[in-house]
Amino acid sequence: MAIQIAQDPAADKVLAESPFALLAGMMLDQQFPMERAFAGPAKVLERFGSLEPAAIAAADPERFSELCRTPPAIHRYGGSMAARLQELARVVVDEYDGDASRIWTEAADGKDLLKRIQGLPGFGKQKAQIFTALVAKQLGVRPAGWEKAAGDYALEGYRSVADVVDPVSLQKVRDYKKAKKAAAKDA
């Protein structure tokens, strides 16, 4: 299955070809439309010329921030997300020798995978659970116990970015989130 999270063929191709891009897109997915967050790595690649974690980690922070803030910015908080992206790149370089896919391919089980993802900058428990489900559902990497680690996001349905495979599923995820917010507001 081809990744279609950004809903833009070029940006989705970047996500499919670069494990770091997929990870960075997930990190950017906060307080910003999902498909635009996941298009952010393609913008970085186009402007910076690389998505190699070592290159991003070593980049001059001011210049990197500037390219991330240039309209259309990679995020509504382009400067702070540029710093967080460089921090994420440093962790991938320091702990996984620059290979983001090792985070999920070398996880001993679902619990270990969740712990690895939660240890990344910008990834709390919920985001780590969603990314665990995304890795399982869209990449087919399913260490033992991934369902338990991913919680509700492992269930069938349209709950998160892990379930987005086309424009129709994107709308279903949006509808689910809208309904969930309304229910929480009513409670």
What residue ranges do the domains of the chain occupy? 1-100
Whether residue 185 has pLDDT greater than 90: no
Residue 179 buriedness (CB in 10 A; 0-12 / 13-18 / 19+): exposed
Whether residue 132 has pLDDT greater than 90: yes
Instruction: Please report the pLDDT score of residue 1 as a whole number.
Output: 54
Range from 20-24, 167-171, 180-184 carrying the lowest mean pLDDT: 180-184
Instruction: Please report the pLDDT score of residue 163 as a whole number.
Output: 95
Long-range contacts of 7-13 (CB under 8 A, 24+ apart): 7/35, 7/167, 7/170, 8/35, 8/39, 8/42, 10/42, 11/38, 11/39, 11/41, 11/42, 12/38
DSSP H or E segment with residue 112: helix 110-118
Q: Look over the chain and give the mean of its residue pLDDT values, rounded to a whole number.
A: 95
In CATH terms, the superfamily for domain 1-100 is Hypothetical protein; domain 2 (1.10.340.30)
What Rg do the C-alpha atoms of the chain give, in angstroms?
A: 16
Residue 116: how many other CB atoms lie within 10 Å: 21
- With a pLDDT cut of 70, the percent of the chain lying above it is 99
Instruction: Please report the pLDDT score of residue 38 as a whole number.
Output: 97
Backbone angles phi, psi at 36, to 5 degrees: -75, -35
Whether residue 141 has pLDDT greater than 80: yes
More confident call, 130 vs 187 = 130
Tens-place pLDDT, residues 144-180:
999 999 999 999 999 999 999 999 999 999 999 899 8
Tell me the pTM: 0.94
